[in-house]
Amino acid sequence: MTPNNVSDFLLNGKPPDQIALRMIGRDYSYGELDNAAFSVAAYLHRISATKGDRVILIAENSFFWVAAYLGIMRAGCACVPLVPTLPHEILDYILETTGATVVFADGRVALQNKASFKNCHVVTAALLPGSREYCGKLPPVEATDLAALMFTSGSTGQPRGVMVSHGNIIANTNSIVEYLELTAADRMMTVLPFHYCFGASLMHTHFRVGASLVIDSRFMYPEMVLQRMIDTRCTGFAGVPSHYQILLQRSSLSQRQFPDLRAVQQAGGPLAPHFIRELRAALPGTKIFIMYGQTEATARLSYLPPDLIEAKLGSVGKGIPGTKLSVLNESGDPVRPGEVGEIVAQGENVTGGYWRAHLETAAAFRNGKLYTGDLATVDPDGFIYVVGRSKDFLKCAGKRVSCRQLEEQVLRFEGVVEAAVVAMPDAILGDAVRLFVVARDGDAAHFSESLRRYCRSVMPPSLVPKEIVSMEFLPKNSAGKILKEQLKRDAETGNPLRPG
């Protein structure tokens, strides 16, 4: 019988000597991880934490993070994973809204946030018990019980906590394991943070089958990560678009050999079709899984089978096993091929809504379905093509224009590593295009002018960027996603770097 508790679902029955985590300089076995998770659960029991209590986890990827995460869930509490660099005011808001009084934190993070944690019981890695402790009778956990609150940015300006149940994680994990065909022989290079649902899903899926995670947080030095992949014989890699754009444009990926690399996963936003083709050319013997998901659906919603990448280039595929995806028009009917509608999801991976945000929950979660806010089309075979977020559009000369489609056009220009389009006010057009780009190399002013000429040759006059801003890098969150709101704020306050 499958356990309802995620911790038991992932760890039960694993050979204690099998390697679970390969850190730089130290490996950790499933036995060590299981003991540490029990010790965390015992500690929480000892300090009178009860089932359903929210417990903050704020640390970098580490044995400490994984042990705390699994131990919190094993105790029947709900884990609240947070970014270690969270601003004080946001951290204070989350502490207040969750009512959390127990915090597991990196020592440095605990010190930096001492004022915020003044009324909390703080546990650091130095205090983590080193051997298994008896934790008494653990509270029974139902599939519907809260396992985690995964905080994402909200439309009101405050982050919102997605309520992820034990059953959500178990269902999504089983689906992903099935279509990726994961086994205990897999070794996944992990550069994504665990506090991000994509990173957490790597841990869930690989632990479920008894595989290993190779942890490396040095992606700013991609050659180190690539060499470690070879040295540890990694069979998998996962990243968001910026990871692949950097690897293809600013690393020796295409010159290296990865004899053990079985599959790579891409999600967290659209990777432009020409980059997908470049990735196939760089890794000819590796399966490439293009995927789509949302935190509100635990992690994954769809995937495109690797053998269909060329035939369905630009598609995110169809729903994963156990998940039904539809693209509906404003009347709630399925769209015809080529018509734009909203992606709607239904399945056991769809979460229960947002923590203490009833209006936002009512808007996105209706009749057991998740209305994703992502706009898409379908082809005659039912494959889905995401057009963009409903909020990531310009109203230019009276027409709605997808920022994503403009970015994909710009990324076709040779030498562009990254691109982000945001709106800028214009008296005639309403919204004009402000383009932020990162070039592989070259003079910024000369590159911007060449890029502008290219845009004039492929875009209608109303969509040619009114302003091109060349940057050394685009601001991103810890998961590698571009922070468009920050770009907008910086532009409005006169801070963007090197306008072209």
Task: Write down all domains in the chain, each with its CATH number in brackets.
Answer: 6-141 (3.40.50.980), 172-389 (3.40.50.12780), 393-492 (3.30.300.30)
**Interatomic CA distance for residues 411 and 458, integer angstroms:** 12
Per-residue pLDDT of the chain (500 residues; tens, 9 = 90+): 789 999 999 999 999 999 999 999 999 999 999 999 999 999 999 999 999 999 999 999 999 999 999 999 999 999 999 999 999 999 999 999 999 999 999 999 999 999 999 999 999 988 776 556 666 688 899 999 999 999 987 544 578 999 999 999 999 999 999 999 999 999 999 999 999 999 999 999 999 999 999 999 999 999 999 999 999 999 999 999 989 989 998 899 999 999 999 999 999 888 989 899 999 999 999 999 999 999 999 999 999 999 999 999 999 999 999 999 999 999 999 999 989 999 999 999 999 999 999 999 999 999 999 999 999 999 999 999 998 876 787 877 667 788 888 888 898 898 888 899 998 887 777 788 999 999 887 566 678 888 999 999 998 888 999 999 988 888 888 777 788 888 888 877 766 444 44
DSSP string, 42-63: HHHHHTT--TT-EEEEE--SSH
* CA atoms of 488 and 438, how far apart (whole Å): 16
Q: What is the pTM of this model?
A: 0.86
Contact criterion met (CB below 8 Å) for 431 and 402: no
CA–CA dist 419, 319 (Å, integer): 28
Dig out the tokens for 170 from the structure: 């178990």
DSSP secondary structure of 115-126: TTTTTSEEE-GG
End-to-end, the C-alpha distance of the chain in Å comes to 62
Say whether 23 sits in a helix, a strand or coil: strand
State the Cα torsion 97-99-104-108 to the nearest 10°.
Answer: 60
475: which 2 tokens? 């601001």
Structure tokens at 15: 């050979």
E-strand stretches of 294-330: 300-304, 318-319, 323-328
The C-alpha atoms of residue 324 and residue 368 are separated, in whole angstroms, by 12
Sorted by sequence, the CB contacts under 8 Å of residue 483 that are 6+ apart come out as: 474, 475, 476, 477
Q: Please tell me the distance from the alpha carbon of residue 198 to that of residue 496, in angstroms, as a whole number.
A: 30
Q: Pick from 8, 12, 24: which is nearest to 60 by CA?
A: 24
Residues 6+ apart with CB under 8 A from 455: 409, 410, 435, 463, 464, 465
Pairwise CA distance, residues 80 & 288, whole Å: 31
